[in-house]
Amino acid sequence: RNYSIGDVIARFLMMKGKNVLHPMGWDAFGLPAENAAIERGIHPAKWTYENIDYMRAQLKRMGFSYDWTREISTCAPDYYRWNQWIFLKLYEKGLAYKRLSTVNWCPRCLTVLANEQVEAGLCWRCDAMVEAKELEQWFFRITEYAEELLDYTEKLPGWPERVLTMQRNWIGKSVGAEVDFPIEGSKEAIRIFTTRPDTLYGVTFMSLAPEHPLVERITPADRLSEVKSFVEEVKREKSRVGVEEVDKLEKKGVFTGARCINPLDGTRVPVYVANFVLMGYGTGAVMAVPAHDQRDFEFARAHGIPVKVVINPPGEKLDAETMEAAYTDEGVMADSGPFSGMKSSEGIASVIGHMEKEGLGKRSVNYKLRDWGISRQRYWGCPIPVVNCARCGAVAVPCESLPVILPENVRFTGRGLSPLESAEDFINSECPKCKGPARRETDTMDTFVDSSWYFLRYTSPAEESAPFDKHDAGYWMPVDRYIGGIEHAVLHLLYARFFTKALRDLGLHGLDEPFQNLLTQGMVCKETVKCPTHGFLSPAEVAPGARCVHCGLAVDVGAVEKMSKSKKNVVDPDNLIEKYGADTTRLFSLFAAPPERDLEYTAEGVEGSYRFLGRVWRLVADNAELLGTGPYDGSKDAALEGLPELKALHQASHRTIDKVTRDIGERFHFNTAISSIMELVNALYLFRQKEKTDDGLGRKVFREAVEAVVLLLAPFAPHISEELWRGLGGEAPVYKTPWPEADPTALVAEEVTVVVQINGKVRSTVTLPADSSEEEVREVVLKDEKVAEWTKGRDVKKFIYVPNRVVNLVVA
Partner RNA sequence: GCCGAAGUGGCGGAACUGGUAGACGCGCUAGAUUCAGGUUCUAGUGGGUGAGAGCCUGUGGGGGUUCGAAUCCCCCCUUCGGCACCA
Q: Is 785 in the site for RNA (CB under 7 A)?
A: no
Question: Can you tell me the distance from the alpha carbon of 181 to that of 638, in angstroms, rounded to the nearest whole number?
Answer: 89
Reduce the DSSP state of residue 531 to 3 states and report it.
strand
Contact range with RNA by CB under 7 A, out of 47-55, 133-141, 447-455, 795-803: 795-803
Among 682, 751, 770, 779, binds RNA (CB under 7 A): 682
For the chain, counts of helices (H) and of strands (E): 25, 35
Say whether 638 sits in a helix, a strand or coil. Answer: coil
Task: Return the number of the residue (89 or 212) whose C-beta is nearest RNA.
Answer: 212
Residue 403 is classified by DSSP as -
Q: Is 368 in the site for RNA (CB under 7 A)?
A: yes
| Least spacing, CB of residue 734 vs RNA, in Å | 22
Number of residues that bind RNA (CB under 7 A): 87
Measured CA to CA, the distance from residue 175 to residue 144 in angstroms comes to 17
Binding to RNA, residues 207-246 (CB under 7 A): 209, 243-244, 246
Q: How far is the CB of 404 from RNA (least distance, A)?
A: 33
Nearest approach in angstroms of CB 775 to RNA is 18
Helix (H, G, I), strand (E, B) or coil at 260: strand
Nearer residue to RNA within complex by CB, 508 or 709: 709
Q: Quick check: 628 binds RNA (CB under 7 A)?
A: no
Which residue lies nearer to RNA by CB, 679 or 723?
679
Q: Which is nearer to RNA, 14 or 277 (CB)?
A: 277
Shortest CB 683 distance to RNA, Å: 9
Please list, in sequence order, all residues whose beta carbon lies within 8 angstroms of the beta carbon of residue 791, skipping any fewer than 6 positions away. Answer: 758, 782, 809, 811
Which residue in 295, 481, 492, 530 binds RNA (CB under 7 A)?
295
In the chain, what's the furthest Cα-to-Cα distance? 108
Give 592 or 728: the residue with its C-beta nearer to RNA. 592
Tell me how far apart the alpha carbons of residues 721 and 704 are, in angstroms, rounded to a whole number. 15
> Measured between alpha carbons, how far is 213 from 135 in angstroms, rounded to an integer?
19
Q: Distance between the two ends of the chain, CA-based, in angstroms?
A: 56
Is 18 a binding residue for RNA by CB under 7 A? The answer is: no
Q: SS3 for 102-157, per residue?
A: EEEEECCCCEEECHHHEECCEECCCCCECEEEEEEEEEECHHHHHHHHHHHHHHCC
Query: Which C-beta is closer to RNA: that of 277 or that of 781?
Result: 277
- Please report the beta strands in 425-563, taking only residues with DSSP state E, as ranges in sequence order: 428-430, 437-440, 444-445, 479-485, 515-521, 524-531, 535-537, 542-543, 547-548, 556-562
According to the binding rule CB under 7 A, does residue 278 interact with RNA?
yes
Least CB distance from residue 235 to RNA, whole Å? 12
User: Hey, which residues between 138 and 177 contact RNA (CB under 7 A)?
Assistant: 161-162, 165-166, 169-170, 172, 174, 176
Closer residue to RNA (CB): 164 or 531: 164
Kindly state the smallest distance separating residue 302's Cβ from RNA, in Å.
12
Residue 608 near RNA by CB under 7 A: yes
Q: Is the peptide bond before 403 cis (omega within 30 degrees of 0)?
A: yes
Note the helical H segments in 408-567.
424-427, 447-450, 454-457, 470-476, 491-505
DSSP-derived letter for residue 321 is T
Interface with RNA, residue 191, by CB under 7 A: no
Q: Tell me the closest approach of the beta carbon of residue 450 to RNA, in angstroms.
A: 21
DSSP string, 758-812: ETTEEEEEEEEETT--HHHHHHHHHH-HHHHHHHTTS-EEEEEEETTTEEEEEE-
Cis preceding linkage at 478, omega within 30? yes
Q: Cβ closer to RNA: 237 or 472?
A: 237
- How many residues would you count in the chain? 812
Q: Can you tell me which of 607, 641, 695, 750 binds RNA, judged by CB under 7 A? A: 607
How many Cβ atoms are within 10 Å of 811's Cβ, its own excluded?
A: 16
Among residues 759, 780, 782, 784, which is the contact residue for RNA, using CB under 7 A? 759
Find the shortest distance in angstroms from Cβ 656 to RNA: 11
Q: Which of 114, 672, 719, 768 binds RNA (CB under 7 A)?
A: 672
Per CB under 7 A, the list member of 124, 152, 281, 580 interacting with RNA is 281
Interface positions, 642-671, toward RNA (CB under 7 A): 669, 671
Name which of 372, 367, 314 is nearest 345 in CA terms.
Answer: 314
CB nearer to RNA: pick between 106 and 766: 766
Interactions with RNA, residue window 716-755 (CB under 7 A): 753, 755
Residue span 683-722 as binding mask against RNA, x where in contact by CB under 7 A, dash where not:
--xx--x---------------------------------
CB of 316 to RNA, least distance (A): 21
- Nearest approach in angstroms of CB 551 to RNA is 29
Among 277, 278, 258, CA closest to 268: 258
Restricting to residues 482-541, name those near RNA by CB under 7 A: 486, 489-490
Piece of 568-576, 740-748, 776-784, 804-812 that binds RNA (CB under 7 A): 804-812
User: Letter for the amino acid at 644?
Assistant: P
